[in-house]
Amino acid sequence: MKISYDWLKWYIPEAPKAEKLANVLTYHVCEVESFEKRGDDTVFDINILPNRAHDLLSHQGIAREIASLLDIKFIDPTPKYKIPESQPTTLIKEIKSSKCRRYMGRVIRNIKVGPSPEWVVKHLESIGQRSINNIVDATNIVMYDSGQPAHVFDLKKVKDLKLQVRDAKEGEKITLLNGEEKTFKSSMMIIADYEGNVLDIAGIKGGKYAELTSETTDIILEIANFDPVSVRKTAQALNIFTDARKRFENDLSPELGPYAMRELSALILEMCPGASFEDVVDVYPEKQAERKLTFSAERISEILGLDVSRKEIENILKRYNIEYKNVEGKFKIVVPPLRFDLNTEEDMAEEVGRILGYDKVKSKIPKINFKPRANEIYKKITWIRNKLLEEGYSEVMTYTFSNQGETEVLESASDKKFLRINLTDGLKESLKLNKINSPLLGLKEIKIFEIGTIFLKNKEEVRVAYNEKEKIVEMSLDEFCKSASPDTFSRVLGKNPQTSSKKHAGLAQERFSMWSLFPFIARDVAVWVPESVESSKVQKVIKEHTGKLVILEPELFDEFKKPASSAGGDGKVSYAFRIVFQSMDRTLTDTEVNEIINKINKKIEENKNWQVR
Amino acid sequence: MSEEIKRGKEHPLSILANQAYEVFLELGFEIALGPELESEWYNFDVLNVPPDHPARDMHDTFWVKDNTAPRVLRTHATSVTARMLEISAKENRIPCAFVSVGKVFRNEATDATHEMQFFHVDGVMVGNLKDSVSLANLKGVLAHFYKKMLGEDVEIEFRPSFFPFTEPSIEVWTKFQGKWLEMMGAGMLHPNVIRNVGLDPEKVQGFAFGGGLDRIAMVKWGIPDVRLFYQGDLRLNQF
């Protein structure tokens, strides 16, 4: 959520500098994704946590939190809102869906739709919103300021001033403000008049039908509260993302309504001083119950592992304007209506912990006498892995997903929608890949294995698979372990799992080196030299002239002698080296590799009695 | 001619998994393994994830076509530690501590830092009230863990967070080579979770943590792309 620093400062003029503020939020409230200067203002992008989305998705919410957190002055704007004179109203609002918890409305006549005052435009633009007209802007300001979404209809479109919130009829339609048409299911909730005109998708988005125009003079304000799950499901099904949806689906308190109505009315009065207001209609079938919560300083200290005094807690409660009593050594508080996140003693431990700062909680290794048991499956896995490693096998991991199998996953983003029924298929692919790469790996023979889970119709099983040349052998862990002499095996199982990780403890000195994604070219150079010449001497000459494109040491892969004594022998030895070329940033051509090889050959033949084969 | 066989090379994630187990075993944890295809109960319900929580959406979780009970590819290995807690509750084996390193799954588009499958290190520790397993203990255990995994000069800190299965909830950040990195989610086990595994939140308390193993590997060795772990390419086995 975008938050303007200048906007916050209306309420907390003593707020610390932007950078300090970002730090305070990070360590006591939630993550600050970014903050950047925009003109004279600074705009924060804040990731409000789901359990605080009831009270913090707004500038006033954040300002109150910071004021309490830092114990600085909060300037309450409410007393400053002008209260318009008001006439009796004939507006009727009816709640016909159980998913609407409060429905407030107000008729205002004689308004003039026009541009917004400069401060309104500036506030909206600071958080990336576009000014539309004064009345629509007023509803948006109220939402970003108080957290309560608001909406306005053109009064002339509402027959007999009667509105209802009801469940939609299957197949009923709405044309949205942007012209897009949406079709409802009966599980969705709408705002409509009694003539069947749909005005609004409840809590999500307004329709075109009762949209304000430059001709509009009379309007109906709407401030409501809806069930969060219903709003989320409807918006998801219709694929609509709006700021109103975001707030409602996070569950707002219906107690927020009157504040928003007061703010919205005052804003419209400021914009249209000649407007005449009617009384607020408020349908609120079941008032939100007052919630109480009891907790003790001792219990909070136990949870946090930090001694928190009663005095510190009292100080917090005062800063957060939370009403409390001391009852038998415990705190009994009245939970502020917007704080749906505070229900249990543990919630209060979190509240106290984050306010004090988790840096106050000091690391303490528990001194508890646990009686752990050995995990037999893990022992087997470790034994198998070690055995295969010792036999020269290297370990790979392949994908659990496959394009065929007995278990299908739903709605996968990938084309591999099944769970593997064996390790063999994946290992075959791995074998193929590594064989192609064998010159790069410097391996004469590829030996690989995988230990992993496979999924059969009604069970999953951990298996091991490895290759014997081209063939893949796959079996269960137990089957593999049978091949161990019972003696060896029980000895291994008797010990703690053996691992090879000791050398990796401590500082990470080893760094990974990424390989090239471009193809490599391997070439062989074979040389006849006198028997007395050692291979390393030839290798040295090659190395000196291979250039930067070579990626491995020239490898001696063949050597044979024709002693002078033997038939046709001339007392020479042949050394054959493999040289592998690869570039990190392009595909090499034959021509450039040939040039390098020619150069090497030339350098070799500069030596007396050395001859390229 | 007999040639000495050169030892093969272990997968980097196995190296780290074993190392993680070693660290936790020394602290008294017990290794726990469990199914990758998990019931909705152990993956979500038991962990106090509300029925309509977005994490349960098909966009985030792999659900499996099944005529009987709905099943998911586990989205964390906390499902395994929850199963173990349940058994321990029945066997009256409190205090106890479990750690599980295993493959987990998320239904998301893949890129250099996102994979459909990856490894998690998940753990729990639960004690009777007199054992006073606290947030300070969680910090002690995790500070020790990251020092062993990434080096003695690594610092850790807790930042506020939210998870349905913990209260208080925190994010674990580590400072490695001068940079702060988010590594894990953790917190004190939510009383509903304690109740769901058959224990009494008035009598026991504990903590839970969970985070990516692939992430530790990427940070520790500078491996640039999470997808490299599952290609079956031996060029990965450099350590």
pLDDT at residue A494, rounded to an integer: 38
pLDDT of residue B66: 74
State chain B's mean pLDDT as an integer: 94
pLDDT of residue A547: 84
Using the predicted structure, report yes or no on whether residue B226 has a pLDDT greater than 90: yes
**Residues with Cβ within 8 Å of residue A37, at least 6 apart in sequence:** none
pLDDT value at residue A486: 57
Question: Cβ of A362 under 8 Å from any chain B Cβ?
Answer: yes
Predicted confidence (pLDDT) at residue A567 exceeds the cutoff of 80: no
Sorted by sequence, the CB contacts under 8 Å of residue B84 that are 6+ apart come out as B30, B32, B34, B96, B98, B100, B124
For residue range A172-216, what is the model confidence (pLDDT) as tens digits? 999 998 899 999 999 999 999 999 999 999 999 999 999 999 999
Overall average pLDDT of the A114-134 stretch = 96
For residue B2, pLDDT beyond 60:
no
Provide the shortest C-alpha distance from residue B128 to chain A (in Å).
10
Closest C-alpha among A129, A149, A168, A126 to residue A5? A126
pLDDT at B179 over 90: yes
User: Which residues, 6+ apart, have CB-to-CB distance to B151 below 8 Å?
Assistant: A506, A507, A508, B176
- The residue in chain A having the minimum alpha-carbon distance to the alpha carbon of residue B129 is A302
A551 in reach of chain B (CB within 8 A):
no
Pairing label, strands A448-456, A394-395: parallel
* Of the partner residues A29, A363, A397, the one whose CB lies closest to the CB of residue B230: A397
Nearest Cα to Cα of residue A279 among A224, A212, A220: A220
The span from the CA of A152 to the CA of B105, in Å, is 45
Report whether pLDDT(A348) > 70: yes
Residue B1 above 50 pLDDT? no
pLDDT, average across residues A5-31: 97
Cβ-Cβ contacts under 8 Å between A and B: the total is 288
Label residue B94 left, alpha or beta by phi (over 0 means left) and psi (-120 to 50 means alpha).
beta
Query: For residue A384, how many other CB atoms are within 10 A of its CB?
Result: 21
At residue A504 the predicted structure's pLDDT band, cuts being 50, 70 and 90, is very low
What integer pLDDT is reported at residue A495 of this predicted model?
Answer: 41
What share of chain A has pLDDT > 90, as a percent?
77
Lowest mean pLDDT among A6-20, A150-164, A267-281, A477-491: A477-491
On chain A, the residues whose CB falls within 8 A of the CB of B143 are: 363
Contact A407 B37 (CB under 8 A): yes
pLDDT band for position A485 (cuts 50, 70, 90): low
Mean pLDDT, chain A, rounded, equals 92
To test the contact with chain B by mutation, choose from A368, A388, A425, A438 the residue with the greatest count of B C-beta atoms within 10 A, namely A368
Please give the span between the terminal C-alpha atoms of chain B, in angstroms, as a whole number: 29
For range A267-275, the mean pLDDT: 96
pLDDT confidence tier of residue A502, bands split at 50, 70 and 90: very low
CATH class, domain B12-232, is alpha beta
pLDDT bin (cut points 50, 70, 90) of residue A506 is: very low
Q: How far is A99 from chain B (nearest CA, A)?
A: 15
A511 touches chain B (CB under 8 A): yes
- Which chain A residue is nearest to residue B172, measuring alpha carbons? A358
In this complex, is the C-beta atom of A317 within 8 Å of any C-beta atom belonging to chain B?
no
Tokens 């998911």 sit on residue = B72
Chain B contact for A303, CB < 8 A? yes
Q: Which of A365, A448, A513 to mutate to test the interface with B (most CBs of B within 10 A)?
A: A365
Inter-chain touch B125–A366, beta carbons under 8 Å: yes
pLDDT of A491 higher than 60: no
Interchain CB contact of A456 with B (< 8 Å): no
User: How many alpha carbons fall within 13 Å on the CB side of residue A162?
Assistant: 8
Q: Write the DSSP assignment of B162-199 as a string of letters.
A: -BTTEEEEEEEEEEETTEEEEEEEEEEEPHHHHHHTT-
Q: What is the pLDDT confidence band of residue A488, given thresholds at 50, 70 and 90?
A: low
* Residue from A306, A360, A364, A425 whose CB has the most chain B CBs within 10 Å, to mutate: A364
Q: Do A505 and B19 touch (CB under 8 A)?
A: yes
Helix ranges, A95-213 (H): 118-126, 134-146
Contact across the interface for B10 and A437, Cβ inside 8 Å: no
* DSSP string for A440-459: HHT-SS--EEEEEEEEETTE
pLDDT at residue number A546: 84
Q: Please compute the mean of the pLDDT values over residues A110-124 and round it to a whole number.
A: 96
- The answer for A231, left when phi > 0, alpha when psi is -120 to 50, beta otherwise, is alpha
Among B32, B64, B93, beta carbon nearest to A409: B64
- Which residue in B has a C-alpha nearest to residue A346's C-alpha? B167
- Nearest chain B residue to A416 by CA: give it: B116
Distance CA A481, CA A469 (A): 21
Q: Which of A411-425, A495-509, A542-556 has the lowest mean pLDDT?
A: A495-509
Q: How far is CA A442 from CA A21, A317, A436, in A?
A: 56, 68, 11
What angle in degrees, to the nearest 10, is found between the helix axes of A297-304 and A345-356? Answer: 70
Mark which residues 15-74 of A lie under 8 Å from B by CB.
Answer: 26-31, 49-52
How far B121 CA lies from chain A's nearest CA (Å)? 15
| Cβ(A465)–Cβ(A388) below 8 Å | no
| pLDDT over 70, % of chain A | 95
| B117/A28 touch (CB, cutoff 8 Å), yes or no | no
Query: Tokens representing A568?
Result: 């046709």
Residue A439: cis peptide before it, omega within 30 degrees of 0: no
Contact across the interface for B134 and A364, Cβ inside 8 Å: yes
Beta-carbon separation of B234 and A434 below 8 A: yes
Backbone φ and ψ for A166, nearest 5 degrees, come out as -145, 165
- Supply the pTM of this predicted model: 0.90
Give the pLDDT confidence of B89-137 residue by residue, as tens digits: 999 999 999 999 999 999 988 999 999 999 999 999 999 999 999 999 9
Written as six digits, the tokens of B35 are 């199914």
Q: Is A183 helix (H, G, I), strand (E, B) or coil?
A: strand
Inter-chain residue contact B107 with A413, CB threshold 8 Å? yes
For residue B95, which residues of chain A lie inside 8 Å, CB to CB?
A: 368-370
Per-residue pLDDT at B49 exceeds 80: yes
Distance of residue A460 Cα from the nearest chain B Cα, in angstroms: 7
